């Protein structure tokens, strides 16, 4: 992406009240179907926008109102550049393939704000998620999986929330591993986090990513929306601990509904978590070492097969 295009991408990626799929469709229409510049697009009037881009009267008026944001977004673009934040558009070769494949064009964010080593997008990636108030067993599981990822050169994806997210990232980088942080806020509001992660970002081992307006603060809605991108960016997903409601539960249910394979720590009898409920809904049970827990009947079948093979 040319830096001169930054203000236009920022403006269009965050059109108020527009769904992600509609924004992506418009961007494709501008850049590929019509092959015109953003400046040309924003010079059109309502009638031309309706005729050439099949926009409704309301959508056309919203685009023209958004044009008024271009000046402020030009200043914002300069700030992003000075902070070494890269804009990665959904049509860029630097855009993570796993995110596009897992979410499809309907839900893939049109624009990523990234600070750090964007090559991490193309490494094997593992999401480790779970409760903020994680138990000792859940924390130990998180550390085991994160250490394993570090030893296998796999990138740990983290939401950087208290609990499982933070433990996963910190364990990975302490063991010379790599991590991607997906923010529930604008990238320019993550100042304290950047101070803590500066060393690892400069070493190319941590990448920080946001899909939200650069100066947007944290919100519950952003945190819930961020979970979909966290799951979508990963090739493999491990759940250390989940309640029966909240972001981890909703993310796992959504992932299972989309046919994703999700690995969940099998809870011991008496544990106060919903891990086993998710396993009953189709998640794959794993032990504290992240090895798949075989069902009793599976073991029986294996024993019978072995006996048949050994029968003279």
Give the pLDDT confidence of 117-150 residue by residue, as tens digits.
999 999 999 999 999 999 999 999 999 999 999 9
pLDDT the model gives residue 235: 95
Cβ-count burial 145-169 (b if 16+ within 10 Å, e if not): bbbbbbeeebbbbbbbbebbbbbbb
- Which pTM does this prediction carry? 0.90
Mean pLDDT within 162-173: 96
pLDDT the model gives residue 242: 95
Tell me: the pLDDT tens digits for 56-81?
Answer: 999 999 999 999 999 999 999 999 99
Q: Which CATH number fits domain 115-296: 2.40.110.10, 3.40.30.10, 3.20.20.330, 3.40.50.450?
A: 3.40.50.450
Average pLDDT of the chain, as a whole number: 92
| Portion of the chain with pLDDT greater than 70, in percent | 95
Query: In whole angstroms, how far apart are CA 71 and each of 3, 7, 8, 191, 268?
Result: 14, 8, 10, 24, 57
Contacts of residue 222, defined as CB under 8 A and 6 or more positions apart, other chains included, come to: 184, 185, 212, 216
Chain centroid to CA 280: how far?
Answer: 25
């Amino acid at each position: 992406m040319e830096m001169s295009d930054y203000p236009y991408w920022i403006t269009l990626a965050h059109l108020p009240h527009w769904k992600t799929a509609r924004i992506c469709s418009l961007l494709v229409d501008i850049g590929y179907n019509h092959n015109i510049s953003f400046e040309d697009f924003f010079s059109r009037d309502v009638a031309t926008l309706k005729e050439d881009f099949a926009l409704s009267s309301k959508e056309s008026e919203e685009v023209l109102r958004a044009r008024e944001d271009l000046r402020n977004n030009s200043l914002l673009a300069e700030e992003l550049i000075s902070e070494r934040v890269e804009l990665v558009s959904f049509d860029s070769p630097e855009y993570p393939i796993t995110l596009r494949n897992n979410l499809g064009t309907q839900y893939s964010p049109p624009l990523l704000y990234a600070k750090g080593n964007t090559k991490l997008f193309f490494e094997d990636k593992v999401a480790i998620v779970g409760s903020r108030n994680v138990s000792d067993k859940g924390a130990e599981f998180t550390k085991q999986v994160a250490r394993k990822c570090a030893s296998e050169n796999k990138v740990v994806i983290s939401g950087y929330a208290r609990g499982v997210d933070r433990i996963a990232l910190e364990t990975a980088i302490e063991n010379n591993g790599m991590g991607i942080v997906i923010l529930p806020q604008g990238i320019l509001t993550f100042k304290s986090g950047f101070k803590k992660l500066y060393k690892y970002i400069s070493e190319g081992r941590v990448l920080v990513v946001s899909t939200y307006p650069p100066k947007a603060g944290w919100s519950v809605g952003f945190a819930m929306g961020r979970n979909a991108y966290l799951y979508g960016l990963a090739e493999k997903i491990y759940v250390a601990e989940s309640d029966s409601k909240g972001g981890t539960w909703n993310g796992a249910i959504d992932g299972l509904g989309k046919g994703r394979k999700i690995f969940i720590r099998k809870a011991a009898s008496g544990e106060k978590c919903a891990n086993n409920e998710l396993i009953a809904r189709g998640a794959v049970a794993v032990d504290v070492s992240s090895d798949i827990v075989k069902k009793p009947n599976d073991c029986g079948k294996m024993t019978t097969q072995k006996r048949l093979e050994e029968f003279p």
